[in-house]
């Protein structure tokens, strides 16, 4: 197994307040981006509107999936929420503990489970991307149901990245265009390749309905990023009857 170069960069930034080398993200569509590591150490004032809306909608016991360095978990904890931070990077988990996150679990979402049930499953900063593929998204939704209480909800954001292929004249892949391969690089060390999913609203709603979920599109910004609230369909549910709604929380 290769080094956790993402975790190494997070640790170095925590220790020094800056990086001597950039954290790079290689993508299957040919781009190399520099990841702004400081976003993983944001203060409340720097949290964008979309994420604030999601945090304001959290309810009951919260599972923060892909919690990173604990920006959202700490915010919720300070508001009095019972929040568990789930993170696959062991280095990031140690950073969260140092920063004061009370409940930290080092693990993979797809393997996570037990007696504990959550009222809110939170996947922010496109955390739903862990699905990797459209089939993986189905698996996320199926597994999410096993982790949720009877009043459970799913909150996440994603993006429609079709503009990449139009604006930058990138050839569309044969598979779904939002299924991207990524690889981190830090200090000339590369991490493992991993799949990440960006899903457009129409595809999301179609799959969600097939898997028995009701969808609300709550917020959309100027960068084709949008916020979703979902809950499993219930025969006696009146709150979101009809399957899909759109609303703005300006």
d(CA 91, CA 78): 23
Q: Convert the pLDDT of each residue in 126-145 to its tens digit.
A: 999 999 999 999 999 999 99
Contacts of 43 (CB under 8 A, 6+ apart): none
Q: Convert the pLDDT of each residue in 8-35 to its tens digit.
A: 999 999 999 999 999 999 999 888 999 9
d(CA 90, CA 104): 10
- Structure confidence at residue 250 as a pLDDT band (50, 70, 90): very low
123: closest CA among 55, 75, 191, 77? 55
Q: Report strand pairing: 83-87 vs 189-190.
A: unpaired
> Hey, what domains does the chain have and what are their CATH numbers?
42-176+199-246 (3.40.50.150)
Tokens of 247: 């609303």
- Structure confidence at residue 245 as a pLDDT band (50, 70, 90): low
Q: Convert the pLDDT of each residue in 48-69 to its tens digit.
A: 999 999 999 999 999 999 999 9
Give 106: exposed, middle or buried? Use CB within 10 Å, 0-12, 13-18, 19+. middle
Q: Report strand pairing: 244-246 vs 213-220.
A: parallel
Torsions phi, psi of 139, nearest 5? Answer: -65, -35
């Amino acid at each position: 197994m290769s080094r956790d170069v993402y975790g190494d960069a997070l640790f170095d930034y925590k220790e020094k307040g800056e990086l001597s080398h950039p954290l790079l993200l290689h993508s299957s569509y040919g781009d190399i981006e520099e990841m702004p590591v400081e976003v993983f150490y944001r203060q409340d004032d720097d949290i964008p509107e979309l994420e604030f809306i999601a945090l304001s909608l959290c309810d009951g016991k919260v599972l923060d999936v892909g919690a990173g360095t604990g920006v959202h978990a700490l915010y919720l904890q300070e508001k009095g929420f019972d929040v568990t931070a789930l993170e696959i990077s062991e280095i990031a988990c140690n950073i969260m503990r140092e920063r004061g996150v009370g409940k930290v679990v080092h693990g993979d979402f797809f393997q996570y489970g037990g007696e504990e049930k959550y009222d809110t499953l939170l996947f922010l900063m496109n955390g739903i991307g862990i699905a990797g593929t459209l089939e993986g998204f189905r698996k996320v939704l199926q597994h999410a149901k096993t982790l949720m209480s009877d009043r459970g909800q799913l909150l996440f954001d994603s993006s429609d990245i079709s503009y990449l292929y139009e604006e930058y004249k990138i050839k569309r892949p044969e598979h779904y265009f939002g299924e991207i391969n990524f690889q981190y690089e830090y200090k000339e060390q590369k991490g493992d390749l991993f799949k990440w999913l960006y899903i457009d609203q129409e595809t999301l709603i179609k799959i969600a309905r097939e898997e028995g979920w009701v969808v609300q599109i709550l917020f959309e910004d100027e960068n084709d990023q949008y916020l979703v609230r979902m809950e499993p369909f219930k025969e006696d549910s009146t709150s979101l009857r009809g399957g899909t709604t759109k609303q703005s929380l300006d």
